[in-house]
Structures are given as structure tokens and as C-alpha cells.
Amino acid sequence: MIKRYLLFDLDGTLTNPKEGITKSLQYALHHVGIEVEDLDSLEKHIGPPLIDGLRDIQGLKEEEIKEATRWYREYFKEKGIFLNVKYEGIDDLLDTLVKAGRTLILATSKPEEFAREILVHFNLDHYFTDICGAAMDDTRRKKGDIIAYALKKNGINDKEQVVMIGDRLHDIKGARENGISSIGVLYGFGSKEELTEAGAGSLAKDLEELKDILLKE
């Protein structure tokens, strides 16, 4: 069956956000007493909800996690948000999919207002019929919850017509939780092993392969 509804992750799937996210994390951790010199060591936090990533940092207490989240968002809103690079070829992919009659919806763990700003900044917003992200109060932050929100908000009931495209295990597991198929992309921040173990329906090594898969779906 043709997949009419394509749910796209943002970070690591449409854009490379490494510099903005890692510098925002470095800034936030500095304010709770943790100094990080090697930004590459923070790369693993690209993809998961922010709070979950902070909980993985040994020794941080819940109050420090809340404080770090505030500092992160302060830096990200002012500086980190546009320290971001659009993947070469992403416009061609999205344009082709829209012209092929697919409905594109963003489903990201990034706060919705930040996600909207990023898409507008990179002139990608016009490809998407809706932008669905995390709530700033963290009541909606897990990828599975965001996918459920996107489906409900857009009145999508036939899950056979939906596929989630993302680069991390959270995208794949979120899709499984909602009974939809998934495609893992290998040009982002998740490894082949991570995406395969999470249960990705298929894998795309680059944007051309992703296009081929989606147009055959």
C-alpha cells in the first residue's frame, strides 16, 4: 500500500543540528557544575527528548535536570537554534514527495515552537501540512506521544498509510508504539545496529535511497 502520510523527524533527518545542540548542552551543563570540553561526547544526546538525555548524565539530580533544561533552552533560543545545517538535497526530496501527492508532517521531540522557527528559517515549512513537536511544559515529549498527537491532530485513522522517517531508535520505537511502519536513515546520528535492533522496517543510506523507498511505498 502507498504511504500517503509521511511523518518526518527533524534533527538528523532534515537537518544536521550537531553544533547547536552540543553547544547548548555544554552551556547548560556548565551552569549545573559540569564542564564538557569535547562537544563530540555530547553527540549521543541528539535525538532523545532533552530531559531523558540529561537523566543519562551520571550524578545529575532532578532539580539540576530542571535547571539545566532552563539554561539549555535559553542558549538554544538565542544562539543554538540556527547553528544548524540543512542536508544537501533535502529540498529536492521534499519537493518530489509533495508533487507525488504525499502529505508531509513533521514529528519531532524538539519543542514545537523551536521546530517551526527552524523550518521557516530554512524555508522548509511550506512542504509540511503540519508541524508537531514536544510541549514546552514537557507534558508531551516522548516520540511515541508526539506521533500519536500528530495522527490525532491530523485525523489520520488508517495507519497502513503512514510511515515514520527518522535517524534514531526513538523514532522507530515511537512508530511501533503507534502501529505504523518506519524507515531508519543512516546519514543521521543513529547507527545501522541501533536502527535495526529498534525494528526499523527498512533503512536508507542516503537521501536518494530514501526517495526511492518512499516513492515505492
Q: Which residues are catalytic?
A: 9
Say whether 19 sits in a helix, a strand or coil. Answer: helix
Phi, then psi, of 15 in degrees rounded to 5: -135, 160
Cα distance between residue 201 and residue 35, in whole Å: 39
Checking DSSP bridges between strand 162-166 and strand 5-8, what pairing results, if any?
parallel
Structural contact between residues 28 and 45, judged by C-beta atoms closer than 8 angstroms: no
Residue 34 CB coordination number (10 Å): 16
Residue with cell 521557516: 120
